[in-house]
Amino acid sequence: MRRISVFVLFLVITHGGIRAQDRDSALIARLATEILVNGKAYENLRDLTKKIGARLSGSPQMALSEKWGVGVFTSSGADKVWMQECMVPHWVRGGKDMATAYNDKTGKDGKPLAILALGNSIGTGAGGIEAEVLEVTNFDALESKKDQVKGKIVFFSYRFKTSFANPSDAYRDAVVYRASGASRAAKYGAKAVIVRSMTHAPDNLPHTGALRYDTAYPRIPAVAIGLQDADWMSNQLKTAAMRVKLRTGGHFLPDTTGHNVIGELTGSEFPDHFITVGGHLDSWDPAVGAHDDGAGIVQTIEILRALKAIGYKPRNTIRFVLFANEENGLRGGEKYAAEAKRKFEKHLFALESDAGGFTPRGFSLDVSDLQFEKVQPWRKLFQPYGGDTFTRGGSGADVDPLKEAFAIPAAGLYPDPQRYFDVHHAASDVFEAVNKRELEMGAVNMAILIYLVDKYGL
């Protein structure tokens, strides 16, 4: 009898499991079809990038994009839409950045350089800075030449290494020069720094991004330079001393009011249990931020629209969040977590899309061993849609404070990384660089994960 019972139990479980998988597959297919046939993500991205454009924290476009977010959430069928106020830093570029390189001996034949001041950097003052250039390929070279640094413009020519199969690893490897180069050089008396852009793009566009000043040293101006001009300068410096005249106008205005824009689908069983999905609404100022992170924004909105359109009633409340100020402050992500904590909310899971609107490969899961085990059988549900590569790793900057505050599992969409650093923080991050299908497939895979977590927990 015992044997038979176990066998019967086995049949029931297996059969039940198969039927559940079939039902999941069917719902997922409806969700995918809704996004791939009736999707609004691409047209929403066109509006956000072309009608509003670049939207750095504190800019008029920041406010416009917040209003736009409220409107699109509403028309997409959110049960509830609101703005969550948070103070944001207000850095402005303060005019056009300019740099010209001269042969130090002749002083003639000035060549304009393709540069952009780094975000959060201070300006040179109206008169600009002119100084001899000292090239260092890395921090070791800086240390060994520290006696030569005083009064110079230090040129960090550290290369973004194409030998990494995953360009994100090249970025992680090189970005310290953008983040810390200025203070490292200021320590030895440099007047400014020029940093080779964090990219492997075959063009000459400079790529900006945030720096962090070390308060122990003077703040000095810092710019990124395009790869072709960086190579040109390295070449020139092999045979001749160079001077660069630099003028940048970056400065901070007082903090100003920004907002997280939040849309909600209210849970039918557990309205006070929250699942969060989002991206960031702000972008750097020289770019319209189509991949970074317009893609994450319109995917977030699209998941809400599609779930609503197919009539899905989530068990838990799903919060769709357009975070403020990821690029130079992270105040939106921090505010969202702080408010959740203050209200003693119950959070279950958070998902972020902030690695570009490229074809989805899977997810980076910031979860426990047990949770990682639990999601493995889900992979076959993702397989037809391409997002079945599950790796352990970080989730995303904006959901990180929430994850930390509540010790909840979190995930980041992992799109294919090969093209991201072609456009990241550069003027080339435009609508035309985003492919409609790739963008939509990202939304499809995110929607599947949200559905599965809502249904089965994690």
231-252 exposure pattern, b = at least 16 Cβ within 10 A, e = fewer: ebbeebbeeeebbbbbbbbbee
For residues 130 and 416, which CB has a smaller minimum distance to a copy of itself in the complex? Answer: 416
DSSP code, position 121: P
Q: Which stretch binds a copy of itself (CB under 8 A): 10-18, 246-254, 345-353, 382-390?
A: 382-390
Residue found by looking up tokens 């993500």 in the block: 41
Sheet with 111-112, side-by-side order of all strands: 111-112, 98-103, 242-247, 129-136, 153-156, 192-196, 222-225, 115-117
Q: Which two tokens stand for residue 236?
A: 């020139």
Is 226 a binding residue for a copy of itself by CB under 8 A? The answer is: no
The only residue of 248, 283, 359, 428 in contact with a copy of itself, by rule CB under 8 A: 359
Query: Residue 431 Cβ, how far from a copy of itself at the closest point, in Å?
Result: 11
Q: Can you tell me the distance from the alpha carbon of 412 to that of 422, in angstroms, rounded to the nearest whole number?
A: 21
Residue 207 contacts residue 426 (beta carbons within 8 Å): yes
Nearest CA to 193 out of 269, 139, 144 is that of 139
Element spanning 246, H or E: strand 242-247
Neighbour-count burial of 23, counting CB atoms closer than 10 A to its CB (0-12 exposed, 13-18 middle, 19+ buried) = exposed
The only residue of 36, 92, 175, 405 in contact with a copy of itself, by rule CB under 8 A: 36
Query: Residue 37 Cβ, how far from a copy of itself at the closest point, in Å?
Result: 5
Residues found in the chain: 458
Q: Can you tell me the distance from the alpha carbon of 458 to that of 407, in angstroms, rounded to the nearest whole number?
A: 13
Strand-pair partners of 352 = 278, 412
Instruction: Enumerate residues 187-206 that contact a copy of itself by CB under 8 A.
Output: 200, 202
First-to-last alpha carbon distance for the chain, in angstroms, is: 36
Query: Residue 179 Cβ, how far from a copy of itself at the closest point, in Å?
Result: 24
For residues 46 and 341, which CB has a smaller minimum distance to a copy of itself in the complex? Answer: 46
Cis ω for the linkage preceding 454 (within 30 of 0):
no
Query: Residue 32 Cβ, how far from a copy of itself at the closest point, in Å?
Result: 6
- What's the maximum distance between 2 C-alpha atoms anywhere in the chain? 99
Q: Can you tell me the distance from the alpha carbon of 441 to that of 28, in angstroms, rounded to the nearest whole number?
A: 12
The only residue of 21, 33, 168, 234 in contact with a copy of itself, by rule CB under 8 A: 33
For residues 42 and 406, which CB has a smaller minimum distance to a copy of itself in the complex? Answer: 42
The only residue of 416, 431, 455, 457 in contact with a copy of itself, by rule CB under 8 A: 416
For residues 152 and 419, which CB has a smaller minimum distance to a copy of itself in the complex? Answer: 419
The only residue of 69, 123, 167, 401 in contact with a copy of itself, by rule CB under 8 A: 167
Is 428 a binding residue for a copy of itself by CB under 8 A? The answer is: no
Q: Which two tokens stand for residue 240?
A: 């001749």
Residue found by looking up tokens 């069928």 in the block: 77
For residues 33 and 371, which CB has a smaller minimum distance to a copy of itself in the complex? Answer: 33
Query: Residue 112 Cβ, how far from a copy of itself at the closest point, in Å?
Result: 25
Is 418 a binding residue for a copy of itself by CB under 8 A? The answer is: yes
For residues 110 and 384, which CB has a smaller minimum distance to a copy of itself in the complex? Answer: 384
Q: Which stretch binds a copy of itself (CB under 8 A): 34-42, 190-198, 297-305, 344-352?
A: 34-42
The only residue of 1, 3, 4, 37 in contact with a copy of itself, by rule CB under 8 A: 37
For residues 174 and 194, which CB has a smaller minimum distance to a copy of itself in the complex? Answer: 174
For residues 110 and 386, which CB has a smaller minimum distance to a copy of itself in the complex? Answer: 386
Q: Can you tell me the distance from the alpha carbon of 409 to that of 228, in angstroms, rounded to the nearest whole number?
A: 43
Please give the angle made by the CA atoms of 360, 363 and 364, to the nearest 5 degrees: 135
Is 32 a binding residue for a copy of itself by CB under 8 A? The answer is: yes
For residues 94 and 384, which CB has a smaller minimum distance to a copy of itself in the complex? Answer: 384
Q: Can you tell me the distance from the alpha carbon of 262 to that of 319, in angstroms, rounded to the nearest whole number?
A: 7
Instruction: Enumerate residues 228-287 that contact a copy of itself by CB under 8 A.
Output: none
Q: Which stretch binds a copy of itself (CB under 8 A): 111-119, 274-282, 319-327, 431-439?
A: 431-439
Residue found by looking up tokens 């030449």 in the block: 145
For residues 102 and 385, which CB has a smaller minimum distance to a copy of itself in the complex? Answer: 385
Query: Residue 391 Cβ, how far from a copy of itself at the closest point, in Å?
Result: 10
Q: Which stretch binds a copy of itself (CB under 8 A): 159-167, 265-273, 280-288, 348-356?
A: 159-167
Q: Give the DSSP per-residue string, 272-307.
A: EEEEEEEEE----TTS--IIIIIHHHHHHHHHHHHH
Instruction: Enumerate residues 319-338 that contact a copy of itself by CB under 8 A.
Output: none
State which amino acid sits at residue 326: E
Strand-pair partners of 130 = 245
The only residue of 218, 386, 394, 457 in contact with a copy of itself, by rule CB under 8 A: 386
Q: Which two tokens stand for residue 432?
A: 């035309």
Summarize as ranges the residues that interact with a copy of itself (CB under 8 A): 32-33, 36-37, 42, 162-167, 200, 202, 358-359, 361, 384-386, 416, 418-419, 422, 435-438, 441, 444
